[in-house]
A = this chain, B = another copy of it.
């Protein structure tokens, strides 16, 4: 007579585990392309966010808010990227405490060279495995969740109605 394990079979637990395992597994599948370029996932994420931002630049604190990193984490990622010539710091003219992380030409080129392989990976292991309907349903569910769970996910992104660019 073993201890009862049924308590640990709650569907909520299963759902959470499913999400965690799927994400971890997917990440493992797309890693090789990234690491082949000498980047960590964090490096790649930061570079991509810079590339997508106006002026290829983002405040350190915005980067921290957008990524899952602490501000000290951002400091060190940008240190690394700067040492490899992929990003640079620029002091903010309007606030001398602040700094921008700016994508360099080399950083942009590296990212561009990675992109097609990365998109293939995503297609192979994620978007291409689902029917259009399934993918839509997945993405809209995820959008709902993200909206609740990540209030500050768009820090540093100029709002459409805002003082553009």
Contact surface of A with B, Cβ cutoff 8 Å: 2-3, 5, 7-13, 15-16, 18-30, 45, 48, 51-56, 68, 108, 111-112, 115, 118-119, 122-123, 125-127, 129-130, 134-135, 137-146, 148-150, 153
Output the nearest chain B residue to A150 by Cβ-Cβ distance: B25
Total identical chains: 2
Which residues of B have CB within 8 Å of A139? 15, 18
A12 and B119: CB pair below 8 A? yes
12 more CB-based (< 8 A) A-B contacts, given A22-B145, A134-B137: A3-B108, A5-B53, A8-B51, A9-B52, A10-B119, A12-B119, A12-B126, A18-B143, A23-B23, A26-B149, A134-B144, A137-B141
A16 and B126: CB pair below 8 A? yes
Output the nearest chain B residue to A133 by Cβ-Cβ distance: B137
Output the nearest chain B residue to A16 by Cβ-Cβ distance: B122
Which residues of B have CB within 8 Å of A153? 21, 25
How distant is the Cα of A54 from the Cα of B1 in the complex, in angstroms? 11
Output the nearest chain B residue to A136 by Cβ-Cβ distance: B137
B129 and A145: CB pair below 8 A? yes
